Amino acid sequence: MFVENNSDDNFFVTPGGALDPRLTGANRWTGLKYTGSGTIYQQSLGYIDNGYNTGLYTNWKFDMWLENSPVSSPLTGLRCINWYAGCNMTTSLILPQTTDASGFYGATVTSGGAKWMHGMLSDAFYQYLQQMPVGSSFTMTINACQTSVNYDASSGARCKDQATGNWYVRNVTHTKAANLRLINTHSLAEVFINSDGVPTLGRRERRLPDTDHRQPFRIKL
């Protein structure tokens, strides 16, 4: 499901079923971003994987690129969990040596917390998802490759061309199940939820009798 949050000016993708293969998360940080203390909610920006959720080896290099990508420049780098050691608390991104129209190359896997074969989504990818009709699908081939060889991706070297390493290739299809648009009307409403979970929109000044078991929730839109 694709969510357009006009209140926070961001996009968000959430799976309608199983999480894997992954295409999930927001393109912007929200007020729920984890900053090192308190409850952990948003801990990275949006990303994809090939469904294997494969772990990466420390100090190895990692490439991810797409064939039949729905957009040009779909990925920005290696996604990580922002509060894990070796990740960037501000960006949740490990920068690669280079990117191109298909993906990114030469991201060094930092030591510390776990890292996986996850590619962070670009704004162009979100814009493509936004304009997709509900019910439509796209298929892409995800290439994910890691190696212990210290190649120079900025000079054109690639993981897939090294003598050792692991290269995974998988076709992945995603279908847009729904498009939810949240619009800020600058209004405040009360929604009463009864014991059966049925919501009723009420007036702010309305008082419930002692025998009414509905509980009010204020929702700012």
- Tens digit of each residue's pLDDT (9 = 90 or more) over 33-59: 999 999 999 999 999 999 999 999 999
CB-count burial class (<10 Å; 0-12, 13-18, 19+) for 142 = buried
Domain map (residue ranges) of the chain: 2-182, 188-220
Listed in sequence order, the residues at least 6 apart from 100 whose beta carbon sits closer than 8 Å to its beta carbon are 65, 73
pTM for the whole thing?
0.83
Give yes or no for a contact between 119 and 75, defined as CB atoms under 8 angstroms apart.
yes
Q: Tens of pLDDT along 115-164?
A: 999 999 999 999 999 999 999 999 999 999 999 999 999 999 999 999 99
Neighbours of 107 (CB within 10 A): 28
